[in-house]
Amino acid sequence: MMNNILLVARREIRQILAMKSFWLTLLILPLALALGPILGETLDDNEPTRVVVVDRSGGAAAAALEARFAEDDDRDVLRSLSRYVQRYELESADPAAPWTQHDRWYTAADIDAFRASGGVEAALKSIDAVRPEGVPEFEPDAREYTFLPVPDELIGQDGEAFADVAQTLFDSDAEDAPEVIVRVGENYPADPRIGLYSANQPRSSFVTALQETLTGDLRTRLLAERGISGAEAAAIQAAAPAIEVTTPPPGDGAREALLVRSIVPLALAYILMMSLMLSGSWMLQGSVEERSNKLLESLLACIWPEELMYGKLLGGLSVGLLMIAVWAGCAGIAAYATQGVIADMIRPALEPVSSPVIILAILYFFIAGYILISAIFVAIGAMVDSMSEAQGYLMPVLLAILLPITFLLQAILAGKEGLLVQVLTWVPLWTPFAVLARLGMGIETWVLVGTGILLAAAIALELVFLGRLFRASLLASGQRLSIKRLIERFSAQKQ
């Protein structure tokens, strides 16, 4: 029996490997993975938002705004520099510098000190002196906002005319056309109204910063009016708690850690889903060909229907595993080639799936999932006479499988393990996906064992019933398949 199963499986594999669609699919994923970051970088908007501040109150408000956004930008640079230094343990570059102290929120004083010591250029010079070979260079993120001089068109404009000119400027194709215009009136702060004109919906972070800065400016002026000196007013405004920040090292801990730890398990669940859909459709195509080419009778004269079905399942499983091996190989090569950030991500990502028990569990649920779903495809293939007829059965089956999985993966990405996740874990149709996806979050051993046993029982039962359906359907071509006939076939013993 085994010999015939292997022969059928080998033929299935050869048939699928001879399909152009197989090779296209096999290459599409690595290509997409390779091109994704390149395209992402191309599509990423790294250009800072161009801002014009028309300050007719004397220029103090505009200066305050520019100073605030410059401070924010420098804080971002300090923060990312600090994480870079922490990741590659480069604190020896300058132990006293704020960017080698990772445990606090950077205050204005830190930023001043950073600027006074020469900013990012000086910091990078110090880092380069101690940076070991192989550690990538630090690349600061682009600044979020850039402030442009007031365009001539806006000078002297007021009211609706100002708005019209602003709109004209927004509509212009010029590279230096403003995207945001802030108008501070002549009577500011007596008249505290601020006009904000934006080409697109303004970012809330921008509006918040604007609000905070001008509020501070207003309050400083009001304090000064009440006899408090400018320096004292500024000190009051600058009073802020010193926040100590404790964050996990890069790629570890809390939410970031959860995501990183779930990367491999979620990818496994995705890959299982993708390769199943692909190899399932090829298996279906093979079954339909056997029926439509009327070669089943020749086959059934030599082998049992069960051998044919198991051979097909084994063939499909082998192709699926081959695809996954190729994809995993490509991912490994990509990780080795890029090292750096990806390697840093992969190390903690592989942690939850590196114990022998978990590796065994992955293999078990992966293979079991493959058999469970592939058997449905093979049975559909045995029931229909054409691919178009197959589509009719395939759509509801695919929806029933895929929709809950989509919700499941989203729930796990959001770090939730609610009722939906629990239910899907215990329903055999979705068990392999749920268990694989949950491995990163940690899954109790008893759940792993319990779902594994339930899944094995479900597959055994499925193979019995789908085996009957397969056998009863093989030679029943041209029959209209009613529910009654389907039930008869499910319960059919050998005719």
Partner 1 sequence: MAILEVSNLVKRFDDILAVDDLSFSVAPGEIFGFLGGNGAGKTTTLRMVLDIIRPTSGTISVLGGAPDRRQAGAIGFLPEERGLYSGMSAIDTIVYFGRLKGMNFGLAKSRGMELLERFDLADRAKSDIGDMSKGMAQKVQLATSLVNDPELLMLDEPFSGLDPVNQGLLENEILRASERGAAVIFSTHVMQHAERLCDRLLLLRKGRKRFEGTLEQARAQLPVSLIAVSRHDPSTIPGVASARPNGAADDGWQEWDVKLDPGVAPGSVLEHCTANGIGLRRWDERHASLHDVFVELVGGEGVEQ
Interface residue with partner 1, options 7, 218, 402, 454 (CB under 8 A): 7
200 vs 495, beta carbon nearer partner 1: 495
Indicate whether 17 belongs to the interface with partner 1 (CB under 8 A).
Answer: no
Backbone angles phi, psi at 55, to 5 degrees: -105, 105
Indicate whether 147 belongs to the interface with partner 1 (CB under 8 A).
Answer: no
Output the CA–CA distances (angstroms, integers) from residue 274 to 140, 180, 278, 433, in the order listed. Answer: 37, 44, 6, 11
CB of 294 to partner 1, least distance (A): 4
Indicate whether 410 belongs to the interface with partner 1 (CB under 8 A).
Answer: no
Total length of the chain: 495
226 vs 484, beta carbon nearer partner 1: 484
Stretch binding partner 1 (CB under 8 A), from 183-191, 284-292, 403-411, 458-466: 284-292
User: How does 190-202 read in b/e, with b if 16+ C-beta sit within 10 Å?
Assistant: eeeebeebbbeeb
Interface residue with partner 1, options 298, 338, 354, 406 (CB under 8 A): 298
11 vs 143, beta carbon nearer partner 1: 11
Interface residue with partner 1, options 294, 460, 482, 483 (CB under 8 A): 294
Which residues between 226 and 255 bind partner 1 (CB under 8 A)? none
CB of 390 to partner 1, least distance (A): 17
Indicate whether 293 belongs to the interface with partner 1 (CB under 8 A).
Answer: yes
CB of 321 to partner 1, least distance (A): 22
CB of 299 to partner 1, least distance (A): 7
Token pair in block for residue 111:
């930023």
Indicate whether 2 belongs to the interface with partner 1 (CB under 8 A).
Answer: no
Interface residue with partner 1, options 122, 130, 277, 300 (CB under 8 A): 300
CB of 495 to partner 1, least distance (A): 5
Residues in contact with partner 1 by the rule CB under 8 A: 4, 7, 11, 15, 18, 289-290, 292-295, 297-304, 475, 494-495
